[in-house]
């Protein structure tokens, strides 16, 4: 309780702590409603210190988004690296993605649910990263296909994943199930459901 026990922290530690708290607060309230005063208070710190570290409220959000983005990217990259053939690579990526989404729902909410202009650049760069991850896989295995189609398909997959992850989290669908549906859809499409002919 005593203020005397609160030790000063190194810049790096303080930053991590602040990002943790910010992630939490932005996820449970939302960006517009969250206040810097509350975040500061939960850190046990005064508001100007937040500004010293992140410059602005937007800056703080952006930093939080960027951190979450990096984690997500590393996790999916690592998972995909273990795969060998395209369907398998895709599946591993999807499972990793949805697993991250359910496990780190706070960070993920910050990533997906706040595409307001504030974070828009950061969120778009998440997508560019994902694009850079998916497009080469498709391109490598389908060399005769034009770039624009590859881009379109990649964007489709990204949008689909974002949407499914929200659905899965909301309805309590497991990452594996979500990944299975996504994979089936992306691989075979609707025809196999609707049209039994070859």
Interface residues with a copy of itself (CB under 8 A)? 30-33, 86-87, 90, 113-118, 120, 138, 141-142, 145, 148-149, 151-153, 155-164, 167, 173, 178, 181-182, 184-191, 193-195, 198
Nearer to DNA, 9 or 183 (CB): 9
Give which of DNA, a copy of itself, none residue 128 binds (C-beta under 5 to 8 Å, depending on kind). Answer: none
Residues of the shown chain interacting with DNA in the complex, contacts defined by CB under 7 A: 7-11, 14, 34-37, 44-49, 51-52, 55-58
Give which of a copy of itself, DNA, none residue 182 binds (C-beta under 5 to 8 Å, depending on kind). Answer: a copy of itself
Nearest distance in Å: CB 16, a copy of itself: 26
- How many C-alpha atoms does 46 have within 13 Å on its Cβ side? 1
**Interatomic CA distance for residues 160 and 63, integer angstroms:** 25
**Interatomic CA distance for residues 57 and 60, integer angstroms:** 5
Place of tokens 């053939």: 85
Tell me the two tokens of residue 79.
């998972």
Burial label for 196, CB within 10 Å (0-12, 13-18, 19+), is exposed
């Amino acid at each position: 309780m005593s203020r005397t026990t609160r030790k000063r922290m190194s810049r790096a530690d303080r930053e991590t702590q602040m990002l943790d708290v910010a992630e939490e607060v932005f996820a449970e309230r939302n960006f517009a409603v969250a206040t810097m005063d509350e975040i500061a208070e939960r850190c046990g710190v005064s508001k100007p210190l937040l500004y010293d570290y992140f410059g602005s409220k937007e800056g703080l959000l952006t930093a939080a988004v960027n951190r979450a983005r990096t984690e997500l990217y590393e996790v999916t990259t690592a998972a995909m690296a273990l795969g060998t053939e395209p369907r398998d690579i895709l599946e591993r990526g999807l499972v990793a993605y949805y697993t991250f989404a359910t496990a780190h729902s706070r960070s993920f909410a910050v990533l997906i649910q706040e595409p307001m202009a504030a974070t828009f650049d950061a969120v778009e760069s998440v997508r560019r990263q994902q694009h850079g991850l998916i497009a080469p896989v498709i391109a490598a295995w389908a060399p005769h296909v034009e770039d624009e189609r590859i881009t379109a398909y990649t964007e489709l997959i990204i949008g689909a994943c974002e949407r499914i992850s929200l659905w899965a989290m909301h309805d309590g669908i497991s990452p594996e199930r979500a990944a299975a549906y996504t994979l089936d859809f992306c691989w075979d499409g609707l025809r196999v459901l609707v049209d039994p002919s070859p």
